[in-house]
Structure formats: C-alpha cells, structure tokens
Amino acid sequence: MLNRIKFFRERGWEEISPEDYAGFWQCHGGSVATHPSFVERLSGLVEIPVRYLGWHRDGMLAAAIPAWGRYLAASMMALKAVGKKRFFDLGNAEIIFPVVSGAEKIPLRHVGRNISVWHATNFAGLKQEKEKLAFLQKPDAFSAKFRKNQRRNLRQFEEAGGFSRPVSDFLPKELADIYLDLFRRRWGFPAPGAERMAEVFALLRDWMRGFVVFLNDAPVAVQVLYQVESPQWVSVEYVNSATDPQARDFSPGNVVTYLNTDAAREEAQALGKALRYSFGRYSSGRADSAYKSHWCSFEPVFRV
C-alpha cells in the first residue's frame, strides 16, 4: 500500500545512505520531523522502513527527503494507511527538508502535509492548504500590555505557591503519567498516542524541552515540545498541552507557554540563531484560534 507507483513517484530521485542524509541535514538544516535521528527512532517504533532519497544537480546533492513508501516520513497519513495512527503524536509538525540554497522546481511527489513556506519555490507540485501554520512572534511584535500581563500572571502564580521544573528532571514514565493525567482532566478523553506515550518520550527524550508547572506541589500544566538545532536556526514543535482545569484561575496554560517560549528564545539567542517555534495549524474556526492569535503570526503551508 505504501509503495504503489514507485517508479513514477521517485523518478529523478536516487536512494542515498542514512549517513549521507544525516550529513546533508547537518549542513543545510531542517525541522524536527525531518531530523535524521528523530526520523530513525520513529521509524523503528512503528516498524516502517525509512528510505532516504536525494535529488542531484550538476553532480551534487541539492535536496534530500526521508520517505515511508509513497509518503513523507513521520506522516500521519502513512500511519493511518498501515493502521498505526495512534502510535505517536507529532501534531501538525512543520516540514523543512535539507535543501541547497537557491534550488528550484525540484519535483516532489511523495504525499505529505505541512510543508514549509520556505519550500514554496524549491519544489514543484506543492499545493497551498487552506489553514496556515502558527509561529511564535518576535518579542518586539508583542504589545507592552501583553508582555506586562504575562509577567503579572507569572508573579501571581508564584505568589500562590506555583513553581516550575524542567522536563529533563523527570523520567519518561513520570512525565508521561503527568501529561496523560492532566490531558484527561482537561478534555475528558485520553491523549493521542496514550498507549505508547512513555515509550515515545523515552525514544525522543534527547529533543524534549520545556517545563512542568506546579501549584502547591501538584502538577497543573505541561506541554509536549520537541526541539532541534540547524546551522542557522532552532526549530521547536509545540505538539500539544495539558492543564488542570481546577487551576484555571491562575492561567497555568499561559504561564507554561510564557516560560517555554522565553527559554527557547534565550537558547536560540545564545546560539546566535533564529528561532522557528511552531504552534501547529491555525484557522479562525478552531477552538484555540484566540489563544494562537495572541502568541503567533501565521504563514502559508503546503501539501503534496
């Protein structure tokens, strides 16, 4: 099912080694969902063979992609096709491939969504989607009132007995238990990928970032964040969040967002790199549209 019409789909592309893909990614960058080790570990989890394909121009590698059959690797559509949709949750992760600067009109025929606007001219065959991707705004884009409100929320939270601990303080099983409990409290149903959450957190621990927020020694908010570093930018994927609805008077969701985004900004600044912090998809009809409108700006996104 994953490999039909393979000859047409891969025409012009050549299989490259995992080592070549990893080296090319490290030179030209990408996003969380295309990071070589990230892809390799998820492929092993779902038992889908990953193939790395390269497009050459003038004898040199110009672009590379990881693929699961006819799909781009880590695609939820691929998981659905093989009955493994709920193995893990990456939300609507932005797809940035390693591509040589200035490369244009490379045919891309593997099925996938959320392909970055950065690739609008790199690849032929892209179709713009109706929804956009939401990205954390630059600090100077926030109003003085907004920044003041976030600092006040944090201060009031701390005065009420609130504090935070980095996710790295917790074992994967501990973090999964906290997240799953808060998610069920907030929404009344299990989080996507709940059955394997601890296993996924253990596999992806190297790239997890952020804080667990506590109130009176009880966890009240956490977000699933993955972060990778490219030569010129830092990519963060905010996959999902979980909060205790009984603590809503203290806005723990906004507190943890403020802490997480501030830490990511500081890290990127220390590295001298741009920050690309994705909040996933945005549309005016979604329940989280007002929240994302406060924190984010929006960019077009493409599919094949």
3-state SS string for 137-150: CCHHHCCHHHHHHH
State yes or no: pLDDT of 9 exceeds 90. no
- Examine the domain organization and report whether 159 and 98 are in the same domain: no
Q: Where residue 130 falls among pLDDT bands split at 50, 70, 90? A: very high
Task: Tell me if residue 57 falls in helix, strand or coil.
Answer: strand
Structural domain of 292: 134-303
How large is the average pLDDT for residues 111-117?
97
Q: Which residue has the higher pLDDT, 82 or 8?
A: 82
**Domain termination residue (choose one: 101, 128, 155):** 128
State yes or no: pLDDT of 84 exceeds 60. yes
pLDDT of residue 4: 59
Q: What is the pLDDT of residues 223-234, one digit of tens each?
A: 999 999 999 999
The strand ranges marked E within the chain are 14-16, 51-57, 60-68, 71-72, 106-107, 115-116, 123-124, 127-128, 132-136, 162-166, 208-209, 211-215, 218-229, 233-243, 274-282, 296-299, 301-303
- Examine the domain organization and report whether 122 and 199 are in the same domain: no
How large is the average pLDDT for residues 136-148?
93
Residue 1 included in any domain: no
pLDDT of residue 2: 53
Give the amino acid at 170.
F
Mean pLDDT of the chain: 94
- Examine the domain organization and report whether 76 and 170 are in the same domain: no
State yes or no: pLDDT of 1 exceeds 80. no
State yes or no: pLDDT of 10 exceeds 90. no
Closest by alpha carbon to 135, among 37, 242, 233? 233
Closest by alpha carbon to 56, among 5, 7, 107? 107
Residue 249 included in any domain: yes
**Domain termination residue (choose one: 113, 128, 143):** 128
- Examine the domain organization and report whether 140 and 101 are in the same domain: no
How large is the average pLDDT for residues 188-211?
96
Total of domains in the chain: 2
**Domain termination residue (choose one: 128, 149, 175):** 128
Task: Tell me if residue 68 falls in helix, strand or coil.
Answer: strand
State yes or no: pLDDT of 3 exceeds 80. no
Residue 172 included in any domain: yes
- The CATH number of residue 274's host domain is 3.40.630.30
pTM of the model: 0.94
